[in-house]
Structure 1
Amino acid sequence: MNVITKTVQLPDGRTISIETGKVAKQADGAAVIRMGNTVLLATVCAAKDAVPGTDFMPLQVDYREQYSAAGRFPGGFTKREGKASDNEILTSRLVDRVLRPLFPSNYHAEVYVQVMLLSADGVDQPDALAGFAASAAMACSDIPFDYAISEVRVARVNGEYVINPTFQQMADADMDLMVGATTDNIMMVEGEMKEVSEQDLIDALKAAADAIKPMCLIQTELSKELGTDVKREYEDEINDEELRDQIKKELYTPVYDVNKQALEKHARMDAFDKILADFLEAYDAAHTDLSADDLEEKHAEAHRYYDDVMRDAMRRCILDEGMRLDGRKTTDIRPIWCEVDALPMPHGSAIFQRGETMSLSTCTLGTKLDEKMVDDVLGKSYMRFLLHYNFPPFSTGEAKAQRGVGRREIGHGHLAWRGLKGQIPENYPYTVRLVSQILESNGSSSMASVCAGTLALMDAGVPIKKPVSGIAMGLIKNPGEDKYAILSDILGDEDHLGDMDFKTTGTKDGLTATQMDIKCDGLSFEILEQALMQAKAGREHILDKMLETMSEPRAELKPQVPRIETLDIPKEFIGAIIGPGGKIIQQMQEETGATITIDEADGKGHIQISAPNKDSIDAAMNKIKSIVAVPEVGEVYEGTVRSIMPYGCFVEILPGKDGLLHISEIDWKRLETVEEAGIHEGDKIKVKLMEIDPKTGKYKISRRALLEKPEGYVERERRPRPDRNDRGERGEYRPRREGDFRPRRDDDRHDNYNRRPRHDDDRYEGGGRRFEHKDNVEENNGSNENNEHNAE
């Protein structure tokens, strides 16, 4: 093995190592990245030749986490890793978006990049290393690739920018950004912030760029040492330069004229298609000597060259005349239309339309039972705010079936979720789910989801901290030219044919989320700053339009929304509320019709009660309060008679708390039995708590204390029992006087005068009337000696 190891140091002194040549040697390129106890393996394999007819970059990036990396078993019946989680898909997208633009434009062979998490101790965040690992594997291969890249996470912790922060440091961060870049240029940004300024974002990008440079340089050194700096030869495109020149010469002007007509999306595409169709018809008529297969090949090439013409014409129209495809100027925002309460039964709903992009968002409010459990390799967590984004084919007029949720939908929904999640109050009792259905799409549908989601939350009565709006920015900048144009609220074609897709969301006070993809070779921080300030102006304009429709959340929830009440109780009462095997809490839910959940946190029990109506909630709340209530001496309680004994009865004054009502405390008159007072099991009676035994905690209650004392009643004097001294001995009784002697009755069980003091070794039988000494059992032989001794 030819093992090569390189290391790079982060600004805080931690190191990241790259090792190659030990494992996965049959892949085109493989690298093991290690930071502390976090280890990732990245591999890359590319097909030798491109599939005929392919005119795009068929790149597939997969990031997967092994549960064994953290010493855990996967959940589920099969106990093995299944399909990629949302977190793995999002990380894969981050790597894909920074790698894809750096392959040669004419390279179309299939490339597969796989990154696996092999070890993790829960200290360092592994997804921050995935982009670095993927690029290092590319550097170890001969696959054509223009520049080495890397990715880092940058967070602002206590005012300081930290590169690749630990999980613990992230708890105090107000910015969380993933940044991908080459040595010279920022290529990708995605993250969330807590209403920070545009300048704060620029400073974070600069800190990330400085940290990425040495990572890229060390990959260049590694590639030279391995000899992979010389890339493989390929010939994935066969071009007809004569046809290319003919199309550019004949079709550029008609395409440019269509750009200036400011047509709507489908009319514009129909006009573009007609221009190409007319050209191909004339071309076929002029080349009757070509076979059908040859003409089909020429048509495919013509489509590729025509895309270049459309791209050049659109860009020149913007740069030279400041006119965009729909007739707007570079800073103009498309017309906006909003509506709330669009649907009768969802808890909240809103429609937001900007130009030809429309989102219908619905808000659903649920209980704690509706939270989403996230079971990732590095731990379990629960999400109480969810946002799902759906992009059906009809939104773009495509005639095809709708399949399962794709990576794009997960990524767009996650960006909108990041933009809004910080505005949900921390102590809000409901679980919130937003669903954005894209009904029309022509650019910036994820930002439309943010705007429609904000209105749907307010329509549902969610007390969000501040409303949020979003906008997508574009850039037109030709290589070698100083002139450029920053576009506000871009169209789909401007995204596809332009050089930048820069999305930002925020409140009136600052940014909450961002996503940026760069497609050109260079982008200065000056351009970035200008784009951010132009985005701020556009975002504020959109927010004003939204607030004209609904300025604040509803004061009251809609009738169909389940009501929720919360209650905090001492930790020691959790078991009493749940009961053995959940018996008590299940009984309360059956009797009241409410849903009750209880959770322990911060040394308390947090209870959530939900029901369709207030009566059910109040009934459940009263039952819980009675369980956790602490009886107070002197208070009057309406209790339930649970059992009757000869000496009194036991009354449940509070759930799970019984007190003894002695027979002498039932009434002022003397009673022989409890039933004489008309008391039976199950009866409700009022009693007063007289005393709580400090040692046993038993409750002494009285019923007669609540009854009027009869006139002339004289309390019987009771002789107090003598107290014990400090040695446990009782004080002396007064001498027995004449008349004190009580003759023995036949039914007496104890002979108090003739009873022999018990010895430690004595064993009594028959209640003390007869005893046998355990040492004399054999000697007595059943004799009556012991009885004679008792008689004496």
Structure 2
Amino acid sequence: MNVITKTVQLPDGRTISIETGKVAKQADGSCVLRMGNTVLLATVCAAKDAVPGTDFMPLQVEYREQYAAAGRFPGGFTKREGKASDNEILTCRLVDRALRPLFPADFHAEVYVNVILFSADGVDQPDALAGFAASCALACSDIPFECPISEVRVARINGEYVINPTFAQMEEADMDLMVGASAENIMMVEGEMKEVSEQDLLGALKAAQEAIRPMCELQTELSKELGTDVKREYCHEVNDEDLRKQINDELYPKAYDVTKQALDKQARQDAFDKILADFQEAYTAAHADLTEEELEEKVALMEKYYHDVMRDAMRRCILDEGIRLDGRKTNEIRPIWCEVSPLPMPHGSSIFTRGETQSLTTCTLGTKLDEKMVDDVLDKSYMRFLLHYNFPPFCTGEAKAQRGVGRREIGHGHLAWRALKGQIPADYPYTVRLVSQILESNGSSSMATVCAGTLALMDAGVPMKKPVSGIAMGLIKNPGEDKYAVLSDILGDEDHLGDMDFKTTGTKDGLTATQMDIKCDGLSFDILEKALMQAKEGREYILGKLTDTIAEPRAELKPQVPRIEAFDIPKEFIGAVIGPGGKIIQQIQEESGATVTIDETDGKGKVQVSAPNKESIDKAISKIRAIVAIPEVGEVYEGTIRSIMPYGCFVEIMPGKDGLLHISEIDWKRLETVEEAGLKEGDKIQVKLMEIDPKTGKYKLSHRVLVPKPEGYVERERRPRPERGERRPRPERGERRPRGDRFNNGEPRRFEHKSNESNDFHDPMAEREPKDFNDSLDHLD
């Protein structure tokens, strides 16, 4: 084995090592990345040739986490890893977006990048290392790639930028960014923030760039040492330069004219398509000698070259004349109209339309039982705010079937979720779900989701801290030119044919989320700053449109929303409310008609009671408060007799709290049995709490103190019970011994019997003096 190991040091002194040549040697490139106890394996394989007819980069990135990495079993019946989780898909997208632009434009072989987490202790975050590992695997291969890249996470903690922070450090962060970059250029950004300024975001990007540069230099050294700096030869395209020149000369002026006409999306596409169709028809007529197979090859080349013509026409029209495809200025926002409550039954709903992009979003409020359980390898938690984004084919006019949720939908929904989640109060009792249905799409549907989501939340009465708006920015910059144009609120074609897609969301006080993809080289921080400030103006304009539609969250929930009351109880009463096997809480729900959930958080019992009406909620709350209430000495309670014993009865004065009503405390007169008082199980009786035993916590009750004392009643004198260890004087012979403790100073109680002649009691054993304590016990035997 030719094992090579390289290390790089982070700004805080931690090291990352890259090892290759030891495992997975049959892949085109592989490496093992280690940081502390976190271990990732990255491999890359590429086909030798391209599939005929492929004119794009068929790159597939997979990131998977093994449960064994954290010493856990997977959930589910099969107990093995299944399909990729949302977290794994989001990490795949982060790596893909940074790598894809750096493959040569004419390289069309299938490439598969696999990153697997094999070890993790929950300290370092592995998703921040996946991009670095994937790029290292490419550096170890001969697959054509323009330059190495890396990815890092940047967090701002106590005002300082931290590279690749630990899980624990993230709890104090107000900024969480994933940044992918080469040694010179930022390639990809995604993250969330707590209303930070544009300058703070730029500072984070600069800190990331400085940390990534030595990682890229490491890969260059590794590639040279392995000899993989010389890449494989390939030929995946056959071009016809004469046809390319002919199309450019004949079709560029026509495409430029269409670009300046400010048509809508469908009309513009039809106009562009007609130019190409007319050319193909004329070309076919002029080359009747071509076979059908040769003609098909020419048609495929025509579509490719014409795409370049449209791209150049759009870019030159913007750079030279400042005219965009729909006629707007570079900083102009498309027309916006909004509506709330377009649907009668959802808890909240809205329509947000900007130009030819439209989102219909609904908001649903649920209880704690509706929370989503996250069971990832390093994250086992619950989510109380969910956002789902759907992109059906009809929103772009496509005639095709709608399949399952794709990676794009998961990624766009996650960005909108990040934008809004910080504005929902942490103590809000409801579980919240937003669903964005994209009904029309022509650029920046994820930002339309943010705006529509804000409207739907306020329509539902969710007390948002501040409304959030979002905008997507574009860039046109040709290589070798100083001239460039930053575009506000980009169209789909401006995204596809442009050099940047930079989405930002925020409140009036700062940024909450961002996502950026760069397709050009040499993007300076001056351009990024201009784009951010222009985006701020656009966001504030859109925010004004939202607040004009609904200024603040509704004060009252809609009638169909389940009501929730939340309160805390002492931790020690959680078990009493739940009861054995959940008996008590189930009984409360059955009797009240409410749904009750209870959870331990921060040393307290967090209780939520929900029901369609206030009466059910109040009934359940009163039962719970009765359980957690603490009885007070001297208070009178209406209790229920739960059991009858020879010496008295046990009375439930509060749910789960029983006290002893001794037979002597039932009435002023002497009772031989409890039944003489006419009491039976299930009867209601008023009692007063006389005493709480400080050691056992038992309750001593009395009923007779609540009824008038009979006239002339004389209380029988009772000797006080001796304290433990105190010696009680022996009675004289023939003297009646009072009832007392089982043992009198170590002597057994004398068993008394009733005389036939009178009610007097006498002690037949009084004449016998026990010699000692053992003698007394012998007598008992």
**What is the TM-score normalised by the length of structure 2?**
0.95
**Residues 685-724 of structure 1: matches in 2 within 5 Å?**
685-710=685-710, 712-721=711-720, 723-724=722-723
**Residues 172-571 of structure 1: matches in 2 within 5 Å?**
172-571=172-571
Q: What amino acid maps onto 1:319 in structure 2?
A: L
Contact 2:259 2:317 in 1 (8 A): yes
Q: Shift in Å at residue 759 of structure 1?
A: 7.0
Partner SS state of residue 409, structure 2: helix
Deviations 1:470-518, CA, capped at 9 Å, x for gaps: 0000000011111100000000000000000000000000000000000
Partner SS state of residue 561, structure 1: coil
Deviations 1:125-155, CA, capped at 9 Å, x for gaps: 1111100001101001111101111101111
* Corresponding residue number in structure 2 for 1:745: 755
Q: Shift in Å at residue 72 of structure 1?
A: 1.1
Q: Shift in Å at residue 722 of structure 1?
A: 6.3
Deviations 1:184-206, CA, capped at 9 Å, x for gaps: 10000000000000000000000
Q: What amino acid maps onto 2:229 in structure 1?
A: D
Q: Shift in Å at residue 749 of structure 1?
A: 11
* Corresponding residue number in structure 2 for 1:783: none
Unpaired segments ≥5 residues, structure 2: 739-749
Counterpart-to-counterpart distance in 2, 1:750 and 1:238:
123
Counterpart-to-counterpart distance in 2, 1:276 and 1:706:
101
Partner SS state of residue 244, structure 1: helix
Counterpart-to-counterpart distance in 2, 1:147 and 1:312:
26
1:392–1:177 distance in 2 versus 1, CA, 3 Å: same
1:540–1:738 distance in 2 versus 1, CA, 3 Å: closer
* Corresponding residue number in structure 2 for 1:44: 44
1:736–1:130 distance in 2 versus 1, CA, 3 Å: same
Counterpart-to-counterpart distance in 1, 2:533 and 2:360:
29
Contact 1:722 1:730 in 2 (8 A): no
Q: Shift in Å at residue 79 of structure 1?
A: 1.1
1:755–1:631 distance in 2 versus 1, CA, 3 Å: farther
Q: Shift in Å at residue 567 of structure 1?
A: 2.0
Partner SS state of residue 141, structure 2: coil
- Tell me whether 1:5 sits opposite 2:5 in the alignment: yes
Counterpart-to-counterpart distance in 2, 1:105 and 1:379:
39
Partner SS state of residue 722, structure 2: coil
Counterpart-to-counterpart distance in 1, 2:598 and 2:443:
45
* Corresponding residue number in structure 1 for 2:589: 589
Counterpart-to-counterpart distance in 2, 1:26 and 1:739:
99
Q: What amino acid maps onto 1:714 in structure 2?
A: Y
Partner SS state of residue 113, structure 1: strand
Q: Shift in Å at residue 43 of structure 1?
A: 0.6
Partner SS state of residue 381, structure 1: strand
Q: Shift in Å at residue 366 of structure 1?
A: 0.9
**Residues 721-736 of structure 1: matches in 2 within 5 Å?**
721=720, 723-724=722-723, 727-731=725-729, 733=731
* Corresponding residue number in structure 1 for 2:630: 630
**What is the TM-score normalised by the length of structure 1?**
0.94
Contact 1:155 1:163 in 2 (8 A): yes
Deviations 1:435-465, CA, capped at 9 Å, x for gaps: 1000100000000000000111111111111
Q: What amino acid maps onto 2:320 in structure 1?
A: D
Contact 2:731 2:737 in 1 (8 A): no
Q: Shift in Å at residue 586 of structure 1?
A: 1.3
Aligned residues, how many?
A: 766
Counterpart-to-counterpart distance in 1, 2:488 and 2:7:
42
Counterpart-to-counterpart distance in 2, 1:161 and 1:323:
40
Q: Shift in Å at residue 707 of structure 1?
A: 2.2
Contact 1:723 1:731 in 2 (8 A): no
Q: Shift in Å at residue 576 of structure 1?
A: 1.1
Q: Shift in Å at residue 535 of structure 1?
A: 0.2
Q: What amino acid maps onto 1:729 in structure 2?
A: R
Partner SS state of residue 382, structure 2: strand
Q: What amino acid maps onto 1:753 in structure 2?
A: A
Deviations 1:563-587, CA, capped at 9 Å, x for gaps: 1111211111111111111111111
Counterpart-to-counterpart distance in 2, 1:568 and 1:322:
61
Deviations 1:292-326, CA, capped at 9 Å, x for gaps: 11111100000000000000000011111111111
Partner SS state of residue 143, structure 1: coil
Q: What amino acid maps onto 1:514 in structure 2?
A: T
Deviations 1:517-568, CA, capped at 9 Å, x for gaps: 0000110000000000000000000000000000111111111111111121
Partner SS state of residue 320, structure 2: helix
Q: What amino acid maps onto 2:430 in structure 1?
A: Y
Q: Shift in Å at residue 763 of structure 1?
A: 10
Counterpart-to-counterpart distance in 2, 1:559 and 1:334:
36
1:462–1:738 distance in 2 versus 1, CA, 3 Å: closer
Partner SS state of residue 25, structure 1: coil
Contact 1:722 1:731 in 2 (8 A): no
Tell me whether 751-760 or 647-656 shows the greater mean CA deviation. Answer: 751-760
* Corresponding residue number in structure 1 for 2:741: none
Counterpart-to-counterpart distance in 1, 2:736 and 2:87:
94
Contact 1:70 1:119 in 2 (8 A): yes
Tell me whether 578-587 or 431-440 shows the greater mean CA deviation. Answer: 578-587
* Corresponding residue number in structure 2 for 1:665: 665
1:719–1:236 distance in 2 versus 1, CA, 3 Å: closer
Q: What amino acid maps onto 1:730 in structure 2?
A: R
Counterpart-to-counterpart distance in 1, 2:627 and 2:46:
67
Tell me whether 488-497 or 671-680 shows the greater mean CA deviation. Answer: 671-680
Q: What amino acid maps onto 1:690 in structure 2?
A: M
1:737–1:35 distance in 2 versus 1, CA, 3 Å: closer
Q: What amino acid maps onto 2:703 in structure 1?
A: R
1:650–1:311 distance in 2 versus 1, CA, 3 Å: same
1:257–1:679 distance in 2 versus 1, CA, 3 Å: same
Q: Shift in Å at residue 720 of structure 1?
A: 1.8
Contact 2:770 2:776 in 1 (8 A): no
* Corresponding residue number in structure 2 for 1:639: 639
1:40–1:719 distance in 2 versus 1, CA, 3 Å: closer
* Corresponding residue number in structure 2 for 1:60: 60
Tell me whether 129-138 or 740-749 shows the greater mean CA deviation. Answer: 740-749
Q: Shift in Å at residue 676 of structure 1?
A: 4.2
Contact 1:722 1:733 in 2 (8 A): no
* Corresponding residue number in structure 2 for 1:778: none
* Corresponding residue number in structure 1 for 2:145: 145
* Corresponding residue number in structure 1 for 2:165: 165
- Tell me whether 1:77 sits opposite 2:77 in the alignment: yes
Counterpart-to-counterpart distance in 1, 2:50 and 2:718:
109
Deviations 1:96-126, CA, capped at 9 Å, x for gaps: 0010000111110100000111111111111
Partner SS state of residue 100, structure 1: helix
Counterpart-to-counterpart distance in 2, 1:504 and 1:253:
35
Contact 1:722 1:732 in 2 (8 A): no
Q: Shift in Å at residue 714 of structure 1?
A: 3.1
Contact 1:2 1:22 in 2 (8 A): yes
C-alpha RMSD of matched pairs (Å): 2.1
Deviations 1:153-180, CA, capped at 9 Å, x for gaps: 1110110001111111111110000000
* Corresponding residue number in structure 2 for 1:155: 155
Quote the sequence identity (%). 79
Contact 1:262 1:326 in 2 (8 A): yes
Q: Shift in Å at residue 739 of structure 1?
A: 13
* Corresponding residue number in structure 2 for 1:790: none
Contact 1:634 1:688 in 2 (8 A): yes
**Residues 10-29 of structure 1: matches in 2 within 5 Å?**
10-29=10-29
Contact 1:357 1:440 in 2 (8 A): yes
Q: Shift in Å at residue 670 of structure 1?
A: 4.2
Contact 2:356 2:440 in 1 (8 A): yes
Partner SS state of residue 60, structure 1: strand
Counterpart-to-counterpart distance in 1, 2:277 and 2:253:
16
Deviations 1:214-248, CA, capped at 9 Å, x for gaps: 11011111111111111111111111011111111
**Residues 772-783 of structure 1: matches in 2 within 5 Å?**
none
